[in-house]
Amino acid sequence: MALEMFGRSINKIGVIGSGNIGPDIALYFTKVLHKYGVPVIIVDVAERALKSGESRVEGKVKRGVRTGAFKKEEAESMINNLSWTSDYSQLKGVDFVIEAATEDIGIKGKIFSELEKICPETTIFASNSSHMEPELIFEKIKKRERCLVIHYFFPAERSIIVEIVPGKDTSSDVVGFLMKLYEQIGKAPIKVKSRYGYAIDPIFEGIFLASAFMVEKGIGTVKELDSMAQRALGLGVGPFTAMNLTGGNPIIDHGLTKMHSKISPWYRKPVILESLLASGKQWDTPKLGEEAAYREKAFETVSDLIRGAYFGLVCEILDSGISSIGDLEMAVESALVVNPPFQMMNKLGVDKALELVKAYAKEWPDFVVPEVLVKQAESGKPWDIPLVFREDRDDVAVVTIRRPKTLNALNSSIMRQLQTVFSEIKEDNRIKGVVLTGFGIKAFVSGADINELARLKIPDEGEALSLRGQETLIQIENLGKPVVCAMNGLAFGGGNELAMACTARIARKGLRVLCGQPEPKLGIIPGYGGTQRLPRLVGLARAWPLLRTGNPISSEEALKIGLIQEEVEGDIKEAGIAFARKVISGEVNIPPINKEPIEIPESLPEVDIGHLSRKIDEILKKAILEGAKMTLEEGLRFEARTFGECLKTKDTRIGMETFMRFGPKQNAGFAHV
């Protein structure tokens, strides 16, 4: 068997190195590729390393079985799909190989020289280097157009971010294929231009270094700085704890020395790191559950300094031109588990962020104040953080919502950006149609941002939020050009409502869970048109139980009831483009949604709403039935008012609080009032 994707065939994958990260890379590959029968070969010259890596992977898979992440048969298939060997000849015929050996140019050079003898000329060569430029790693390789860096983050089987770093000779076709491949296997790749350290590690190591410098200045101890930096930046773990967990001290020791000459003189090896490496010990950090004691006044000092360093580090990357705001915001937040930098600066005020960076540079004069931050502060505007991306494919615009950490959940920023993008498309005479899709394979749009919904307090706020969202969807519905929603994954709540505002909908084939309106489970009703468009698209009798129970349906069921036009296999974006062109040419005719009042059947199906709020169900039934008697325009306004009514109830607060505390699997204990 093989994985056929984007014009390439993947029959076998190789991973070189069974040390810190190679086994985790192999684990992720086997997790997603075992079902296609694509074997993963792990090669290491040290038998001890092979046994250790194999044992670690098997342990993680067994834990996955215990937690329910994997079924027993699935786990066995994943393990059996892996081969651990010291024999490089096992890589004959491999289509894609990732080297994850020691960060040593000599070792990497020998590995790729050996691979060049064994592998076909079509094999993609990638190095999981954390710092070295691809031009240096592949300097002696003859066919460098197939070579690049793919930088994973700890832990590689769970962190979604990978940096795709092409060299000056890397083929754009190879880069394009890998960007698509990694998205399709569940990662979030960002393309980064070649520079030592790439985009994310200079920030990661810079946060550590800024903390180490403060320890050396006597502002606090290692334990105190670890806790204070974690609190100030919203880090998952403190910077010193991160070094202990990843075994990163030797790598950062070398990296900081190189960054000193290649990026900025501010980067240098701190004295306390030299001492620690000489002793062979780990950093003295808080134990699990322990909070280091420190004075609040000390925290204020540390908070200002560490934020100044953080903002300056991120903006230096932006200044260098190797990455973009959107990619940095997503990657830094996800890979480093830290508060997103540009959102932090916007909330604080960009001028205030600049003051913090300047204050930090005054304490450490080698630290450069990035020009891009100076200019942004002078503009008086917040950072524009893109979450909606447009790519034109001749006469079809492909619009992608990318917010993978929340499964592309809609928030006010996305809604504003959708309005802007669709306004530009409407005025662009070159564009005849649109494909609207989501990033990744899990979700088109998982719904409206629950944090924004939870902040609603009074009916007027609820109605206003609903009307603002409806305005965006009405704009898409009345664009004057066909809009095909390519549902790459689940569409819940506002996501399904967004899809229903499009001219047509297609979905990936075989999705057991595609779409639904789960609002009643949260103690609210749909507010972006669900009570009005769903009955008009599939009929009131079919919509009635779907709206009232909040239960999702599969792609097969959605096709059967007429909610989607096609189930497709393969690349959903390409299928969307092809479908849009059929609509443009008139080959496919999609009747417009009925905007007039619709007939209410004499009898509607009995619906068991179970534990759901009877009070919210009353409001929901009113929105559906009264709205059906109105035009679509009137019905949408009526839905917004009834959405606001939910905020008068106790059950809305119960539903929201239950979801915020326990997630979607916990049933709310509604009071029915």
Interval 180-216: pLDDT, tens: 999 999 999 999 999 999 999 999 999 999 999 999 9
Average confidence (pLDDT) over 96-121:
95
Do residue 436 and residue 466 come from a single domain? Answer: yes
- CATH number of domain containing 170: 3.40.50.720
End-to-end CA distance of the chain: 57
**Residue 249 pLDDT greater than 90, yes or no:** no
What integer best gives the mean pLDDT of the chain? 96
By C-alpha distance, which of 215, 207, 416, 389 is closest to 298? 215
pLDDT, mean of residues 633-638: 98
Q: What is the 3-state secondary structure (H, E, C) of 275-296?
A: HHHHHCCCCCCCCCCCCCCCCH
- Specify whether 219 is located in the same domain as 185: no
Q: Checking phi first, is residue 6 left (phi over 0); if not, alpha (psi -120 to 50) or beta?
A: left
> Residue 440 and residue 569: Cα distance in Å, rounded?
15
Confirm if 607 and 549 have CB atoms less than 8 A apart.
Answer: yes
Structural domain includes residue 207: yes
Residues 497 and 544 in one domain: yes
For 508-530, the pLDDT digits (tens) are 999 999 999 999 999 999 999 99
Residue 1, pLDDT above cutoff 80: no
Peptide bond into 535 cis (omega under 30): no
**Given 334, 357, 379, which residue is the final one in a domain?**
379
Provide the pLDDT for residue 369. 98
pLDDT at 626: 97
Q: Note whether residue 673 is domain-resident.
A: no
Which CATH number does the domain housing residue 327 bear? 1.10.1040.50
pLDDT band at 432 (very low <50, low <70, confident <90, very high): very high
Q: How would residue 289 be classed by pLDDT, with cut points 50, 70 and 90?
A: confident
pLDDT digits (tens, 9 = 90+) for 372-404: 999 999 999 999 999 999 999 999 999 999 999
Q: Do 181 and 208 lie in a common domain? A: no
Cα-based distances in Å from 130 to 99, 100, 137, 150, 257: 11, 10, 12, 9, 14
Q: How confident is the model at residue 250 (pLDDT cuts 50, 70, 90)?
A: confident
Whether pLDDT at 222 is above 80: yes
Q: Do residue 529 and residue 547 come from a single domain?
A: yes
Whether residue 165 is predicted with pLDDT greater than 80 in this model: the reply is yes
Per-residue pLDDT band at 291 (split at 50, 70, 90): confident
669: in domain:
no
Those residues with Cβ within 8 angstroms of residue 513's Cβ, 6 or more apart along the chain or in another chain: 490, 552, 554
Residues 277, 396: one domain? Answer: no
Query: Which residues are CB-contacts of 346 (< 8 A; sequence separation ≥ 6)?
Result: 382, 383, 385
333-381 confidence digits (pLDDT tens): 999 999 999 999 999 999 999 999 999 999 999 999 999 999 999 999 9
- pLDDT for position 4: 85
> Tell me, what's the pLDDT at 246?
82
Q: Please give the tally of structural domains in the chain.
A: 3
The answer to whether 287 and 226 are in contact (CB under 8 A) is no
Identify the pLDDT of residue 315: 98
Residue 670 maps to a domain: no
pLDDT bucket at 599, cuts 50 / 70 / 90: very high
Domain end, chosen from 163, 191, 219, is at 191
Mean pLDDT in residue range 529-554: 98
Task: List the catalytic residues.
Answer: 497, 519
**Could you tell me if 655 and 627 lie in one domain?**
yes
Mean pLDDT to the nearest integer, 223-232: 96
- Are residues 402 and 290 part of one domain? no
Q: Which domain holds residue 11?
A: 3-191
Which residue's entry shows tokens 């609210």?
524
Q: Please determine, for residue 466, whether its predicted confidence score (pLDDT) is greater than 80.
A: yes
Q: Are residues 465 and 331 in the same domain?
A: no
SS3 content of the chain, % helix, strand, coil (to 5): 50, 10, 35
Boundary residue ending a domain (379, 398, 418): 379
**Any alpha helices (H) in 568-631, and if so which ranges?**
572-585, 614-628
Distance of CA 287 to the CA centre of its chain: 30
334 and 437 housed in the same domain: no
> Do 361 and 419 fall into the same domain?
no
Contact 566, 579 (CB under 8 A): yes
- Residues 208, 182 within the same domain: no
Instruction: Name the percent of the chain lying above pLDDT 70.
Output: 100
E-strand stretches of 69-179: 82-85, 96-99, 124-127, 147-152, 161-166
The sign of the CA dihedral 637, 536, 414, 489 is positive
CB distance 531 to 519 below 8 Å: no
